[in-house]
Structure 1
């Protein structure tokens, strides 16, 4: 059983990987964020029969090219994306070099509800077939929410704790908080932590019917972002340099958009207090920035908690559409790679999230000087620097 190595040790992120509509790898996601170019495009109606005219699926997703042909016949889209993304991370950091044993490497993977496409397709087959049991048994595992996490562990030999977390747009923060508790409790030394979301016709129709009458339909996106979380002393001993220090996470609940403002304000205040940080010390804020009343509540909460307008606020949601459970992970990536003027080392970054189901949360982290290690910033000085940058 792994233990914290010293009283002065801290939890850090040392690397990350992504698979997104912008391409394969963290470098592609970083380049897309820095350029400010949207991945949302017109959908081909012959491929996607959805109520949305636009979306951001991963174009020409080539799972055989990423994973090989063996063992992927019954793998659904969400599972394939997750397994491939974890593979990208572990290809840079082989599991034998991550920790002393494979049991010291855990996995925490977030999702909204697993593969909606698999669940609905399997149910349809049981209702339309000659007999209810005339279904493909090989596809049944895809209907359970932890299918992607389980396959990631089996495929890559991760023998530590394996957990699936679901919490809407806040999922990425919840998963990271859970990973930190695993490590502080001595259950594993290293955690591969992230989230995955698939684009499908079934998910599109569910989202369409779930939206409120006054909400504009936000194009859907997909992808996966996974991080490597570990103790700094262990990472340094193995030659891995931290990209960010994990200072604090906090969560809350609310009943309506009006109370979301106060719930998030309390979360941010608690996180700052736990980390020993004053509001005016926060340099960068990456809000979820949902449309409508929730977005307004988030902005007011940040004004209440931080005061003034010193912190730069970055908005990115229009770039990838609604990535649901991956949203907060993309926000963390924005904080890590956005080409904001000034040195990145020591910058305090706050990531906030609110979900329409009544969950809110935040993450406070201290950035290291690492941007040159994840892609290159645009050489054109006039290019956008990470989505819509505002300062309130």
Structure 2
């Protein structure tokens, strides 16, 4: 047991704004609607956060060059109504930051007149740690500030990192989660799948340390790598986190993969270690391939389902994440309360 609990969470997803609308979408099991998107890079149908205008959400100050990745993270954290102290931190997972901003900045450095007059205001947002930095600046978070670039396994990786900060006494609380934007640039980098976007953030604290009731205990988290063999990595990770946990006490399972290839990998590994689990959710089929945020959406799906089912209380739920390069991760939660307390949800 880690001694770390989730006390609040929120999400911006293709279903809409907030945890409640995401939970309703997951419980209904109906995929979020597709939106036709077009920019200078490509046109595509994707599952994007609806009605999200950066200036309308965050105001004009400091947003003229802000990328969608940073804006999604800042707005999601704002929905949690943070009340930070000097040791409240943020750990945010990403693939590489805003692919669109990086594409645009690189293009400008090659095409604009010498001496390569790029937009200097865009430079901070071309860095992968922009979203975490903007969260800290805009919400007064002066504790640890970290960006974890772990692709589709960012969810489990972020939970491990945040739990270590809390256990080591480096932070009093951590806003932990992941974000991924949709853009034509990302369509070029991730061809062949139905892309989505969004951000999920959880507030993690040491058990008993805060004044918010716990929603779930973080029982275990683990990440593994097996070169080009994500199935082997995921099976090993599952065996590690399930040591000492009876398989028949696993109430729910979130399989985050959105593509057939990675879905088969998750099915094979979880079937080998866990057997049949009664409540299975596949957020990738509901909100699309949300990249770095996919594992976080899996965790949020489990919290939403547990809130709606009294049988989940005191039992375990498992969220998995895999990526093509051979990385895999797992988080095990134990439901201990109702999601209506302690935050937006």
Deviating runs (4+, > 3 A) in structure 1?
Answer: 339-342, 371-375
Gaps of 5+ in 2: none
Tell me by how many angstroms 1:353 deviates: 1.0
Quick one: distance in 1 between partners of 2:92 and 2:309? Answer: 33
Residue matched to 1:201 = 184
Structure 1 counterpart of 2:58:
67
8 Å Cα contact 2:259-2:289 kept in structure 1: no
Q: CA deviation at 1:342?
A: 4.8
Alpha-carbon displacement from aligned partner over 1:152-177 (angstroms, at most 9, x marks no partner): 11111101110000111110110111
Cα offset, 1:40, TM superposition: 3.7
Matched, 1:230 2:205: yes
Query: Does 2:329 correspond to 1:354?
Result: no
Q: Is the 8 A contact 1:26 1:374 kept in 2?
A: no
Supply the distance in 2 between the matched residues of 1:203 and 1:291 (Cα, whole angstroms): 16
1:140 to 84, 99, 123: 123
Q: Would the aligned equivalents of 1:343 and 1:369 in 2 still touch at CA under 8 Å? A: no
What SS class does the counterpart of residue 118 from structure 2 fall into?
Answer: coil
Residue 92 of structure 2 corresponds to residue 120 of structure 1: no
In terms of mean alpha carbon deviation, does 60-69 or 164-173 score higher? 60-69
Q: Give TM-score scaled by structure 2 length.
A: 0.93
Q: Given the alignment, which residue of 261, 279, 290 partners 2:247?
A: 279
Counterpart CA distance in 2 for 1:123 and 1:132 is 14
Question: What secondary structure sits across from 1:242 in the alignment?
Answer: coil
Aligned position for 2:221 = 249
For 2:83, the equivalent position in structure 1 comes to: 94
Q: Distance in 2 between matches of 1:77 and 1:9?
A: 34
Shift of 1:304: 1.6
The structure-2 alpha-carbon separation of the partners of 1:9 and 1:147, relative to structure 1 and needing over 3 Å to count, comes to: closer
1:35 is aligned to 28
Helix, strand or coil: the match of 1:248? Answer: strand
1:332 aligns with 2:299: yes
Alignment partner of 1:18 out of 11, 31, 47? 11
CA contact (8 A) 2:5 2:216 kept: yes
- The equivalent of 1:269 in structure 2 is 239
Q: In the superposition, relative to structure 1, how do residues 333 and 198 fare at CA in structure 2: closer, same or farther (>3 Å)? A: same
1:321 alignment partner, one of 274, 288, 292: 288
Contact 1:251 1:267 in 2 (8 A): yes
Q: 8 Å contact 2:213–2:341 — kept in the other structure? A: no
- Whichever of the two has the greater Rg, that structure is 1
What corresponds to 2:272 in structure 1?
304
Are the structure 2 counterparts of residues 245 and 64 from structure 1 closer, same or farther at C-alpha, using a change threshold of 3 Å?
same
Q: Is 1:107–2:90 an aligned residue pair?
A: yes
Q: Is the 8 A contact 1:288 1:353 kept in 2?
A: yes
The match for 2:332 is: 364
Matched residue SS, 1:150: helix
Alignment-derived partner of residue 83 in structure 1: 74
Is the 8 Å Cα contact of residues 258 and 285 (structure 2) preserved in structure 1?
no
Quickly say closer, same or farther: Cα 1:169–1:272, change in 2 above 3 A: same
Indicate yes or no: 2:136 matched with 1:153.
yes
Alignment coverage as a number of residue pairs: 342
Query: Structure 1: where are the runs of 5+ without partners?
Result: 1-7, 96-100, 209-216, 376-392
Deviations 1:202-238 (A, max 9, x none): 1111212xxxxxxxx2211111100000012112xx2
Q: Secondary structure at the match of 2:242?
A: helix
Secondary structure of the structure 1 residue equivalent to 2:135: helix
